[in-house]
Amino acid sequence: MDKYRIIEVKQSVFQNNNEQAEKLRKSLKEKKVFLMNLMSSPGSGKTTTLVRVINDLKNKYKIAVMEADIDGECDAKTIETKTGVKTIQLHTCGECHLDAKMTKEGIEGINVDGMDLAILENIGNLVCPAEFDTGATKNVMILSVPEGDDKPLKYPLMFKVSNVVLINKIDTMSLFDFDIKECTKRIHKLNKDALVIPYSAKTGEGIKEFEDWLSKEIDAWKK
């Protein structure tokens, strides 16, 4: 019987993506552009958070935003209207994540030359976006209080790959059975180095800690 060549497709796809991601990261480092990949489930408050953070930091840094969605352009319009920074919409045509190739196309489309911070708002999904290295300098994710404190148990990979876990909507704590201490323990069991920041994108409570972290990381990346 003839022997057939067997290709491990998933491993091959990830390997190729990782190689492209490293090339993109190196290119951005040479340009001194910090790329933040922001991930979460739909409705967690990514866009609202970005509006507040961008408005607080745009006088200090030149910022560009890539809004990724399967379809639609409402988030890009919101960012552009409420912050005035350079923004483009990326459509994935059904894909539930951004990979390094898509991110590179977005980077080229928006032209980040001269930018200090490029932000990729990834597809709202707690699974697929965590599997693909986008070439980002750092990964940030948002978990909102209404989603529940058990999400690190159900979707561990995103918590493992994120440098910062933002716990949003703490202004709703009285309405939900959410244990921040227990959730933080679960996160650190998966990723002991993750910075966990409770905050409210609506009221602004706690957001300065994240902005200070981001500013420090941008400045270090540009050296």
Q: Is residue 57 part of a domain?
A: yes
Q: Which domain, by its residues, includes 145?
A: 29-221
Interval 197-202 mean pLDDT: 97
Which pair of structure tokens corresponds to residue 117? Answer: 């911070």
Write out pLDDT tens, residues 125-162.
999 999 999 999 999 999 999 999 999 999 999 999 99
Which pair of structure tokens corresponds to residue 75? Answer: 């988030």
pLDDT at 1 over 80: no
Q: Is residue 114 part of a domain?
A: yes
Per the structure, how many domains does the chain have? 1
Q: Is residue 17 part of a domain?
A: no
Q: Is residue 155 part of a domain?
A: yes
Q: Is residue 10 part of a domain?
A: no
Contact 175, 206 (CB under 8 A): no
- The C-alpha angle 187, 68, 86, rounded to 5 degrees, equals 110
Contact 135, 20 (CB under 8 A): yes
CA distance 66 to 10: 27
Q: Which of 1-5, 45-49, 205-209, 214-218 has the lowest mean pLDDT?
A: 1-5
What's the whole-model pTM score? 0.92
Q: Is residue 11 part of a domain?
A: no
According to DSSP H, which parts of 45-123 are helical? 46-57, 74-83, 100-110
CATH number for position 61 = 3.40.50.300
- Relative to beta strand 63-69, strand 117-124 is parallel
Residue 97 amino acid letter: H
